[in-house]
Amino acid sequence: DVPAQCSRGRGDVWLISLQIEQRLELFGSKGELGESTDLAEARPHDVRRLAKLLSDHLQDANAFMPTDRTTQQRVPWPDEIL
């Protein structure tokens, strides 16, 4: 299986939405080699802001959202994970 994920950046950070796992990760875009440090706990405001931007973009684009195999429901939009 291919992992279902999408991302959105703004300023010095990128949010990655791991859709099936229903998890959000935040990474710095400057000086961060290999995206190894998840900043989500340290920067919750950035997570909320980027999750909203990403959700709005996906909905405006009528993006396909995968189905959770265990519940047979559409996975939540990134801002619904919070």
One digit per residue, the tens of pLDDT, for the chain of length 82 reads 546 788 888 888 899 999 988 999 999 876 555 667 899 999 999 999 999 999 999 999 999 898 888 899 999 999 999 8
Nearest Cα to 4, choosing from 66, 71, 72, 81? 66
Quote the pTM value: 0.85
Contact predicate 39/50, CB 8 Å? no
pLDDT at 12 (0 to 100): 84
Residue matched to tokens 């939009």: 77
Residue matched to tokens 């265990």: 70
